[in-house]
Copies of this chain bind each other. A is one copy, B any other.
Amino acid sequence: MNDPSQQRSLVTVGEVLAVLAAPDVGPLTLGSGLRLGLAGAESNVAAAVSRLGGSATWIGRVSDDALGDLILRELRAEGVTTVAVRDAAPTSLLLRERRTATHSRTRYYRTHTAGSRLSIEDIPEDLVAGAAVLHITGITPALGEGPSLAVTRAVDIAVDAGVPVSLDINYRSLLWSEADARRTLLPLLRRSDLVFAGPHEARLAVPGAEEPEALAKAICELGPTGAVIKLGVEGAYALLDGQELRQPAVPVTVHDTVGAGDAFAAGYLAELLAGEPPERRLRTAVLLGAFAVSTTGDWEGLPRRHELDLLDHHDDIVR
């Protein structure tokens, strides 16, 4: 395998949160054990790309304490290059309750934290300009003016340098309204080359359309040359340079749905970096989604490249 450190890198900008997740089903109100880990839409993608053999770089702000060390330690463990400003503010938290067997609830501690203090100065021009692809999500701009400007700055650099921009809309209703999201994300979307969205997220950008085909078409009319619509158990639909592609989902037993969207985007982008054709990109995207839902956590169960086979055929494992 090539040395990822010599490849041009997927670069992404965002926030990593410390995750406090209840392993057992039941209300937090009764007290609980929790597991401390980390997650973030952009770092999830970076880690997943790295596991598939791609080079990945994450830019962000990180608290100057044990939780900040935890974040950098784990990204390093995953082979992700980190460009992190340390900040005296604390790390954002995500408290995840498994209220019932199928319904989780989330409480964020995400204001006045290190990640939300990301600023325009934190974006290293050379690094973005030298990227293989810049991947951004709709979450970082929702964190405040600083992060929003920082993402815009990264897109400015990428567009100027001819670096393709990938945008996962990733709408989070706990962070902002649909109207605010549309106002902020549309300018970014117009300048992106590739857009990932679920049907609901896509409609937020292109309100008129309904079906995947229409949504992707409407998105591409705004500027991007590619739009990939994530359809969950229906798989995915993509419109890439005018070409339509459909990919059914990989049937798996659902264990934990968290992180499926990030895994999907990462699967696509890792193959893009590897120079693979669109069919393969989409196939790996749904495969990574399958890994995400059949393992625990946001990114922890995602595959290394040689593990892709594990879900790529469907033999029983009775012995």
Chain A interface residues toward B at CB < 8 A = 20, 24-37, 65-67, 69-70, 73-74, 76-79, 90, 93, 95, 97, 99-105, 107, 109, 111-112, 232, 252-255, 257-261, 291, 293-297, 300-301, 304, 307, 310-311, 316-319
Contacts and interface: CB of A to CB of B under 8 A. Distances in A.
A35 B293 CA distance: 25
A191 to B, nearest CB: 25
B31 A317 contact: no
B66 A107 contact: yes
A78 B297 CA distance: 22
| Oligomeric state, in copies | 6
A31 B37 contact: yes
A69 B30 CA distance: 9
A28 B33 contact: no
A133 to B, nearest CB: 23
Given A29-B66, A30-B73, A257-B317, 11 more contacts: A32-B36, A34-B34, A66-B105, A67-B95, A73-B77, A76-B77, A99-B310, A100-B301, A101-B295, A102-B252, A258-B319
B73 A29 contact: yes
24 contacts: A20-B20, A25-B294, A25-B295, A26-B297, A26-B300, A27-B66, A27-B300, A27-B301, A28-B66, A28-B70, A30-B70, A30-B73, A32-B35, A33-B34, A77-B77, A99-B295, A99-B301, A99-B307, A100-B301, A100-B310, A101-B253, A102-B252, A232-B316, A261-B318
Contacts of A20: 20, 34
A69 B29 contact: yes
A28 B319 CA distance: 21
B36 A35 contact: no
